[in-house]
């Protein structure tokens, strides 16, 4: 089912294209789908083809390709295992969600009423999926080079971390080591949201230092969400550096 796009929605998408510095793109239905969550499509009976899940699948593959190619060409002495770790640190949920927050992508997304009420416009998993879907839309409606430019431009601060040696999987340990550089601090992880059915829950955790929130992350388990929260906190540190 194709939805007729009104002038207000087209203006929103045009504004988003300006934010991501794409000047020539006329496949509006692709971009609209990329910024449409399945909850909205289900609520309005649009059909699975008019939400961002399929574009997310495609964009995920392109994202891995682009970042993998970049690392392969820029770090010729890096071994395969380190390349895999470096790529995983760049394309994981926390950096993608942080980029989307900087772009205010949530305000351009169509979500169902339930997702809106539960803070879906700011949820890590929803934003990260939308980033991948936008990549897929830019590839299909524009070109590989358009998608590649978007990826490398938006993820440049996180690619820079690789050059500085800041990557790895145990983000909680990295964050603790960073915080404790200047003495003891109280680091706590707090569950702030739990959504979804029992068989497919998503947990959202905050990492706090001396009572101050430093990062937020989501995952399919509390441990995964804690790692994502620590990674989000580290991203802020390294981007500032």
Residue 137's pLDDT band (boundaries 50, 70, 90)? very high
Residue 1's pLDDT band (boundaries 50, 70, 90)? very low
Q: Do 19 and 35 reside in the same domain of the chain?
A: yes
pLDDT, greater one: 60 or 46: 60
Catalytic residues: 60, 132
CATH of the domain at 221: 3.30.160.20
Question: Does residue 184 have a known ligand-binding role?
Answer: no
User: Does pLDDT of 47 surpass 80?
Assistant: no
pTM, 2 dp: 0.73
Does a structural domain hold residue 188? yes
- Look at residue 240 in the predicted model and tell me its pLDDT: 52
- The parent domain of residue 95 ranges over 7-164
Q: Average model confidence (pLDDT) for the chain?
A: 87
Encoded tokens for 35: 């910024």
Residue 149 gets the label, from left (phi > 0), alpha (psi -120 to 50) or beta, of: alpha
- Look at residue 123 in the predicted model and tell me its pLDDT: 83
Cα end-to-end distance, the chain, whole Å: 47
How far apart are the C-alpha atoms of 214 and 186, rounded to whole Å? 12
Q: Do 36 and 139 reside in the same domain of the chain?
A: yes
Q: Do 155 and 66 reside in the same domain of the chain?
A: yes
- Look at residue 238 in the predicted model and tell me its pLDDT: 59
Q: Do 81 and 13 reside in the same domain of the chain?
A: yes
Question: Does residue 129 have a known ligand-binding role?
Answer: yes
Chosen domain end from 164, 194, 226: 164
Which residues lie closer than 8 Å to 180 by C-beta, 6 or more apart?
none
pLDDT in tens, 79-130: 999 899 899 888 988 789 889 988 999 999 999 898 888 888 888 889 999 9
Chosen domain end from 146, 164, 182: 164
Averaged pLDDT for residues 201-213? 92
Question: Does residue 69 have a known ligand-binding role?
Answer: no
- Look at residue 48 in the predicted model and tell me its pLDDT: 61
Averaging pLDDT over each range in 45-54, 146-155, 223-232, which range is the top one? Answer: 146-155
Q: Do 153 and 34 reside in the same domain of the chain?
A: yes
Q: Do 156 and 135 reside in the same domain of the chain?
A: yes
The number of C-alpha atoms within 13 Å of 70 and in the hemisphere containing its C-beta is 22
Does a structural domain hold residue 1? no
Q: Do 218 and 104 reside in the same domain of the chain?
A: no
Q: Do 16 and 113 reside in the same domain of the chain?
A: yes
Q: Do 34 and 114 reside in the same domain of the chain?
A: yes
Count of domains in the chain?
A: 2
């Amino acid at each position: 089912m194709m939805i007729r796009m009104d002038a207000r929605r087209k203006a929103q998408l045009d504004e988003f294209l300006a934010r991501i510095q794409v000047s020539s793109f006329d496949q509006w239905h692709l971009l609209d789908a990329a910024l449409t969550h399945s909850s909205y499509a289900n609520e309005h009976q649009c059909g699975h083809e008019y939400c961002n899940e399929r574009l997310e699948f495609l964009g995920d593959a392109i994202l891995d390709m682009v970042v993998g190619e970049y690392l392969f060409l820029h770090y010729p002495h890096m071994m395969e295992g380190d390349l895999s770790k470096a790529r995983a640190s760049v394309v994981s949920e926390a950096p993608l969600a942080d980029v989307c927050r900087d772009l205010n992508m949530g305000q351009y997304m169509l979500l169902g009423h339930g997702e809106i009420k539960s803070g879906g416009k700011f949820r890590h998993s929803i934003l990260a999926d939308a980033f991948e879907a936008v990549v897929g839309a830019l590839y299909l409606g524009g070109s590989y080079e358009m998608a590649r430019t978007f990826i490398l431009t938006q993820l440049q601060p996180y690619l820079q971390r690789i050059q500085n040696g800041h990557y790895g999987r145990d983000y909680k340990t990295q964050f603790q080591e960073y915080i404790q550089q200047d003495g003891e601090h109280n680091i706590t992880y707090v569950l702030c949201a739990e959504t979804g059915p029992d068989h497919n829950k998503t947990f959202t955790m905050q990492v706090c230092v001396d009572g101050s929130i430093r990062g937020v992350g989501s995952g399919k388990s509390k441990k995964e969400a804690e790692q994502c929260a620590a990674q989000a906190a580290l991203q802020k540190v390294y981007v500032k550096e």
